[in-house]
Chains A and B, each alone.
Chain A
Amino acid sequence: MGGSSDTSRAGGPASGLEARSLDDLVVDVALRRDRQAFARLFDHFAPRLKAYLARSGADQATAEEVVQDVMLTLWRRADQFDRAQASAGTWIYTIARNRRIDLLRRERRPEIDPSDPLLTPTPDPAADDALMAGEREQRLRAALGQLPREQADLLRMAFFDDKPHSAIAAETRLPLGTVKSRLRLAMVRLRKVLRDNP
């Protein structure tokens, strides 16, 4: 890790930073170990991560502890961030999800190894990359805002409450089939936004 400082940036600290996207800021951390960029990322993500962890069952102190852990992981692994693959928000979401499973549930999360020679290759990898991940996320957020409430609520439960479909059905007293079909309808819309070219 090079410890190059911020002094090489002309024009004073705040200028330019204002306009940088979250994805840019992660790249700044990766390339320059930029503490100011990291502080901005902390201010943006830490309160959201804390809310996420609290919803999935962590108490206040544990939630803060896991947030700090996730943010340190961001600092240490920023060079693994690939903005063509995922937006900064998605990347951090997956880090936080895995730390939650690791620390709160005390289980391993089995995942593929992207460098495994036995991974069946994607037939046409270029097809996915029509849009940058950051752009896709913008469109996704707009589409999320337009989902019918009954679908959006279930989607929040699915992603934030650490509850599989069956537990959501039990809690909402909806039939499992209804939970499944509402979430499926939500994903049909969102997938269209993610996969169709503009």
Chain B
Amino acid sequence: MSVSTAIPPGSMPSHHPDEALLLDYAAGALGEAESLAVATHLALCPDCRHEVADLESVGGAMLEEIEPAPLSGDSRAAVMARLDEAPPATPRRRPVPVAPGVAGLPLPEPLRSYLGETGPSWRRIMAGVAEHQILAGPDGYRAVLLRIEPEIAMPVHTHRDREHTLVLAGGFTDAFGHFLRGDFSSTDPSVTHQPVADPGEPCICLAITTAPLRLTGRWARFLNPFLR
């Protein structure tokens, strides 16, 4: 029997980025890859959007309280003299159409623009798992799309740093629960986990990882070279 995990419109995620990650995002302290995962979750989660708006208000209120630093004398005049300048021509990026998305899956912004109109080019990294790299940031974080075939268990792995997974289609289950579209999962070095994709359709997620997966267990030595 095939299980459909189609999400009714308007349904809300039940797993969210932790408060610390939302604060770091609102304060602008995260690198681009982690920010991409948080922002794409925000598109799917009104509750976290509300929380980030509150955090930004705190940033605004704190700006009022900061000890002001005087500017050099002619700074204001210099700006006033430029008010009539034509604004710099910002190349208007053509918006990426909502359809067809990745394999028929519509993706919200900002992820949609990162993938562009050509979509992912999948590269097999192990049996039943393919990835498409979106970006590799200078902070060592990579953003990749992962496609995990139904009922495939990812190898048991641990992490060198915290890592994040945002489900875009299908779902997976691990020790922390069941994750569907919009759900956000973070793991840290203390965690060894083994996500298993739901039956029925492939699980597609945005994964933010630091380095190639470090496997544990008997296949580790054998598999590691392929997970670059």
Task: Mark A residues whose CB is within 8 Å of B.
Answer: 35, 38-39, 42-43, 45-52, 54-55, 63-64, 67-68, 71-72, 75-76, 85-87, 89-94, 96-98, 100-101, 107-113, 116-123, 128, 133, 136-137, 140-141, 144-145, 155-156, 158-160, 162-165, 167, 180, 183-184, 187, 190-191, 194-195
Contacts and interface: CB of A to CB of B under 8 A. Distances in A.
Contacts of A164: 24, 29-30
B69 A165 contact: no
Contact of A47 (B54, B59, B71, B78): B71
B199 interface: no
A172 to B, nearest CB: 15
A89 B36 contact: no
14 contacts: A43-B76, A48-B68, A63-B69, A86-B60, A87-B60, A89-B63, A107-B138, A116-B112, A117-B98, A120-B45, A140-B61, A141-B64, A164-B29, A191-B51
Contacts of B12: 120, 123
A149 to B, nearest CB: 13
Given A86-B57, A109-B35, A158-B23, A72 B79 contact: yes
B161 to A, nearest CB: 9
Given A107-B32, A162-B29, A120 B44 contact: yes
Contacts of B72: 64
A39 B80 contact: yes
A121 B10 contact: yes
Residue from B19, B32, B55, B71 having most chain A Cβ neighbours under 10 A:
B71
A71 B79 contact: yes
B59 A97 contact: yes
Nearest to A191: B54
A65 B53 CA distance: 27
A67 B82 contact: no
Could you tell me the dominant secondary structure of chain A's interface residues?
helix
Interface string B127-169: 0000000000110000000000000000000000000000000
A98 B28 contact: yes
Contacts of B227: none
Could you tell me the dominant secondary structure of chain B's interface residues?
helix
Contact of A118 (B23, B60, B61, B106): B106
A101 B12 CA distance: 30
B110 A187 contact: no
Given A72-B83, A85-B53, A111-B110, 4 more contacts: A47-B71, A89-B60, A92-B60, A162-B27
Given A52-B66, A195-B54, A108 B32 contact: yes
A186 B108 CA distance: 32
A87 B19 contact: no
Nearest to A77: B87
